[in-house]
Structure 1
């Protein structure tokens, strides 16, 4: 039986990969994001599914209530609500413009809270439903130069735990949190930047499709929290057990692995407005496996052709 799935943040990265994953299952989709043009592209990518697109800015008052109303009007119900919308900003806390910090928190934490609120109101009436949020390993640890994002993800962790406790008397309503580590999405290039160096995900980097599979799996096997990333457990252990050592190492590691050498002028990225040209499933942070495999083969072939005349 196909489900009706609302995906907030479906235009890029994990959300876009998740839309494709649910479409392959034959579920009916309600896709929401700020850029209508990109939503149209995602709808075309999910051609095997019945899709409704609703341009939505999670920071606008009652935007998510309007989204839910559109979903119910079209499909009659909502079974699953997935929230992946997020923006990011790089910069030292005292050098990051106040309005940028506030907008990241407004989008990543308050926007997610609004999603949970709207979804639960529908699910309490229906008697069942699944809400899935995307958090981050940065909801359990910290990293310098990402204060707004870290604040949001720590707040989201607390919100989810509190609401899960409140839902103990409604076992048919599930709230799940999927916490990825580094993921190959465009969010790093799209981030606001007041640090002077372009950000990047530190290795090891997961593909967005891996996170999407974890999200889809939560519909069939709901869990309170799912971690996606080989080093997540190690990072959390180091942060908790050896906080002094962690704090000494995290700055140099962040500068070496979490920032590229490319200089960049200060800018607001996609924090206040979408950048459709930069939206995609992948961020280009992983090597092209075809080049890794066929590049050397092609080079050998070219050398042999030269030797053979």
Structure 2
């Protein structure tokens, strides 16, 4: 038992089968909470529920597709029927799709937006009546730095994350008269999760996350801290804040450089057959919390230096551009 302040709280996590969602469940489990685990992969959820039980928390598995509004209502009802309350709701389910915009099927762009943005909206819409009836609740949105930083060759993903940030800001304003209902947004930098191997990929190249890559357990720990002390916005990893700053200061240059970096990567990346990944259906591989692209544990100081290097490079680029005028 780590902290009695969390004991007995009912916590719903969407996208719990792998990545950050799975890491969050395992991070909360030693606190004797009541976990409601939601995703499309029932086998992975059952396995996770068993692990959470060993760590000290009961878990309820609810197979859920967040693109279906009725499924989210069912999730709310299942959690509420089980414990009579919902203390924390974590919007986390997400998918990735990479490829040139016009060469990526339009249904792929639509599905990314359905999952990443409308999935969060569906969840928020379903749980909000419970929070208002209770007159309290914490809703955590795992948005990512992609809510500020555009991702070339991921236009649908960028649209979903930018839209999600705007949606959350609107809901925060709307709920300003409800002091005990908290909307908390998380903006982690690039994470070492299986999400990138689950991604729909139309680049015909193997994908890797851009460095610096952070351990998803850092995001999970941030979720625990937010549950104890709600905050409107949390940036996970120094690179997150610095990348946001670089885009605020040099938006056009940042976009050009990110596009250039990706094109350079594609030239040397290993070839790969196009795939829909887990976009339309769940998959049976890579259901761990951590991927295989970083180093487990806390990121070292070198991550800060890498991020500062990006910012310094952008500043130098602006200087050079201005000096030629």
Taking structure 1 as the reference length, the TM-score comes to: 0.90
Q: Aligned-pair distance for 1:288?
A: 6.6
Aligned residues: 289
**What SS does structure 2 have at the residue aligned with 1:31?**
strand
In the alignment, structure 1 residue 2 sits paired with structure 2 residue 8 = yes
In the alignment, structure 1 residue 80 sits paired with structure 2 residue 92 = no
The answer to whether the 8 Å contact 2:69/2:122 transfers is no
What does 1:227-238 align with in structure 2 at a 5 Å threshold? 227-238=235-246
In structure 2, the CA distance between the partners of 1:260 and 1:276, relative to structure 1 (3 Å rule), is farther
Runs of 4+, deviation exceeding 3 Å:
255-260
Q: Give 2:45's match in structure 1, choosing from 32, 39, 43.
A: 39
Cα distance in 1 for partners of 2:43, 2:270 equals: 29
Q: Aligned-pair distance for 1:244?
A: 3.3
Q: Aligned-pair distance for 1:126?
A: 0.8
The answer to whether the 8 Å contact 1:200/1:259 transfers is no
Q: Aligned-pair distance for 1:211?
A: 0.4
The answer to whether the 8 Å contact 2:188/2:219 transfers is yes
In structure 2, the CA distance between the partners of 1:139 and 1:17, relative to structure 1 (3 Å rule), is same
The answer to whether the 8 Å contact 1:182/1:202 transfers is yes
- 1:39-70 deviations in Å (ceiling 9; x for gaps): 01111110121110001011124101001111
In structure 2, the CA distance between the partners of 1:217 and 1:61, relative to structure 1 (3 Å rule), is same
- Gaps of at least 5 residues in structure 1 are 290-309
**What SS does structure 2 have at the residue aligned with 1:115?**
helix
1:23 aligned partner:
29
Cα distance in 2 for partners of 1:217, 1:244 equals: 35
The answer to whether the 8 Å contact 2:215/2:295 transfers is no
Q: What's the Cα RMSD here?
A: 1.6
Q: Aligned-pair distance for 1:257?
A: 6.1
Taking structure 2 as the reference length, the TM-score comes to: 0.86
Q: Aligned-pair distance for 1:263?
A: 1.3
- 1:238-270 deviations in Å (ceiling 9; x for gaps): 222223322331112234569971211111000
In the alignment, structure 1 residue 146 sits paired with structure 2 residue 150 = no
In structure 2, the CA distance between the partners of 1:165 and 1:258, relative to structure 1 (3 Å rule), is farther
Q: Give 2:76's match in structure 1, choosing from 68, 80, 84.
A: 68
Larger radius of gyration: 1
